């Protein structure tokens, strides 16, 4: 489940096809999706199809959930408001049926939604034993100025995507005295932790990690000439990450760390839909194989992903 431009999914699809597995790649927003789903013995069965492929719901073993675009409504509906309503109905039906399938999800959209909140990521990391940078979230520029006056800080957006699909908001160092008194939006500031950047890719119980060298900015994603070197994940960090993923119900996560001067792996964030192809291409780490292996492994019992309630 993803869009046509998802090159990370391309790698996984290619691996599965080479194994002889049957794969249906579906993007609901790319064309009309038809469905005949009948509830039989507590499971949805029958057919889902787009303009090119079809599959039976009872034959689905796993779902790779990435970046599907939402349904646009049946093309025969000309009235914009009616078509928008129909698109919402299609979304509720399609996503509702798929999300309830008792199959392996990498990752379940409910888990992705829960795991994407950065404040929750930080508290969960602390809960499982990972250090995190000193962090402030505020709407007050005056508060941010006072907090930043005591340390070197960076600004980090809650969502990396900016005002459009081509605009990425990078983590950026800031001078506290330059901050406006009114921020205009809730903002997150963190103390800058010096050390070695690490990207860790986790799938199931497998860990793949690399150090990142050559970045001339705080946010290494803006650098095209960095180098990657394979590094082992310390057992204590590996155990903590498995606990973290279990808390959110994740099968996959792309984690960013800083190894500080004392050798601590300081948790920065986790992207449950993060890309990994650049790491595999540069190092040869078999991440695609690990994901495909996981997708080919049926679950013994369904896992329900329910948003926890707090009293």
Give the pLDDT confidence score for residue 309 in this predicted structure: 43
- Judged against a pLDDT cut of 80, whether residue 306 lies above it is answered with no
Distance, CA of 231 to CA of 211 (rounded, Å): 7
- Judged against a pLDDT cut of 90, whether residue 167 lies above it is answered with no
**Which band of pLDDT confidence, cut at 50, 70 and 90, is reported for residue 192?**
very high
Percent share of the chain, pLDDT over 90: 79
Distance, CA of 285 to CA of 281 (rounded, Å): 8
Mean pLDDT in residue range 243-264: 97
Region of poorest pLDDT, from 36-50, 135-149, 204-218, 226-240 = 204-218
Taking the CA atoms of the chain, what radius of gyration do you get in angstroms?
Answer: 21
Question: Which is higher by pLDDT, 225 or 155?
Answer: 155
Region of poorest pLDDT, from 73-77, 175-179, 187-191, 240-244 = 175-179
CATH of domain 113-131+194-295: 3.30.470.20
**Nearest of 275, 201, 233 to residue 130 by alpha carbon:** 233
Give tens-digit pLDDT for 285-302. 999 999 999 999 998 755
- Judged against a pLDDT cut of 50, whether residue 164 lies above it is answered with yes
Mean pLDDT in residue range 21-34: 94
Give the pLDDT confidence score for residue 150 in this predicted structure: 83
Give the pLDDT confidence score for residue 172 in this predicted structure: 82
**Which band of pLDDT confidence, cut at 50, 70 and 90, is reported for residue 311?**
very low
Mean pLDDT in residue range 198-224: 83
Q: Is 63 left (phi over 0), alpha (psi -120 to 50) or beta?
A: beta
Specify the length of the chain in residues.
Answer: 311
3-state secondary structure the chain: CCCCCCHHHHHHHHHHHHCCCCCCCCCHHHCCCEEEEEEECCEEEEEEECCCCEEEHHHCCEEECCCCCCCCCCCCCCCHHHHHHHHHHHHHHHHHHHHCCCCEEECCHHHHHHHCCHHHHHHHHHHCCCCCCCEEEEEEHHHHHHHHCCCCEEEECCCCECCCCCCECCCEEECHHHCCCEEEEEEEEEECCCCEEEEEEEECCEEEEEEEECCCCCCHHHCCCCEEEEECCCHHHHHHHHHHHHHHCCCEEEEEEEECCCCCEEEEEEECCCCCHHHHHHHCCCHHHHHHHHHCCCCCCCCCCCCCCCC
Give the pLDDT confidence score for residue 308 in this predicted structure: 46
Distance, CA of 275 to CA of 258 (rounded, Å): 19
Give the pLDDT confidence score for residue 175 in this predicted structure: 87
Listed in sequence order, the DSSP H helices in 205-307 are 235-248, 277-283, 287-295
Mean pLDDT in residue range 220-234: 83
Angle (deg, nearest 10), helices 235-248 and 118-127: 130
Token duo for residue 237: 């960090």
For CATH 3.30.470.20, the residue range(s) in the chain are 113-131+194-295
187 neighbors 139 (Cβ within 8 angstroms): yes
Give the pLDDT confidence score for residue 216 in this predicted structure: 61
Give the pLDDT confidence score for residue 301 in this predicted structure: 58
- Judged against a pLDDT cut of 80, whether residue 165 lies above it is answered with no
Give the pLDDT confidence score for residue 8 in this predicted structure: 92
Phi, psi of 2 (to 5 degrees): -170, 175
Q: Which residues pair with 187 in a beta bridge?
A: 138
Average pLDDT, the chain: 90
Give the pLDDT confidence score for residue 214 in this predicted structure: 80
Give the pLDDT confidence score for residue 218 in this predicted structure: 67
**Which band of pLDDT confidence, cut at 50, 70 and 90, is reported for residue 173?**
confident
């Amino acid at each position: 489940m993803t869009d046509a431009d998802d090159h990370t999914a391309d790698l996984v699809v290619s691996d599965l096809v080479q194994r002889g597995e049957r794969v249906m790649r579906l993007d609901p927003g790319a064309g009309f999706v038809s469905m005949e789903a009948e509830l039989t013995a507590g499971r949805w069965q029958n057919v889902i199809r787009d303009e090119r492929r079809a599959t039976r719901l009872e034959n689905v073993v796993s779902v790779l959930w990435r970046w599907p675009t939402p349904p646009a409504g049946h093309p025969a509906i000309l009235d914009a408001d009616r078509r928008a309503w129909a698109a919402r109905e299609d979304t509720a039906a399609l996503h509702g049926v798929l999300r309830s399938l008792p199959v392996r999800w990498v990752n379940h959209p409910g888990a992705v939604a829960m795991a994407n909140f950065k404040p929750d990521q930080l508290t969960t990391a602390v809960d499982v034993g990972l250090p995190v940078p000193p962090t402030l979230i505020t709407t007050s520029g005056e508060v941010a100025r006072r907090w930043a006056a005591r340390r070197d800080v960076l600004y980090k957006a809650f969502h990396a995507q900016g005002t459009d699909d081509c605009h990425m908001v990078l983590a950026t160092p800031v001078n506290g005295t330059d901050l406006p008194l009114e921020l205009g939006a809730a903002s997150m500031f963190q103390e800058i932790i010096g050390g070695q950047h690490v990207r860790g890719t986790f799938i199931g119980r497998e860990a793949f990690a690399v150090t990142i060298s050559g970045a001339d900015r705080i946010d290494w994603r803006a650098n095209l000439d960095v180098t990657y070197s394979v590094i082992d994940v310390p057992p204590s960090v590996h155990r903590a990450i498995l606990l973290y993923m279990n808390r959110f119900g994740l099968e996959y996560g792309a984690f960013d760390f800083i190894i500080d001067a004392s050798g601590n792996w300081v948790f920065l964030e986790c992207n449950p839909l993060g890309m990994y192809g650049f790491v595999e291409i540069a190092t040869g780490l078999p991440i695609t194989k690990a994901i495909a292996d996981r997708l080919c492994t049926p679950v013994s019992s369904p896992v329900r992903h329910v948003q926890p309630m707090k009293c």
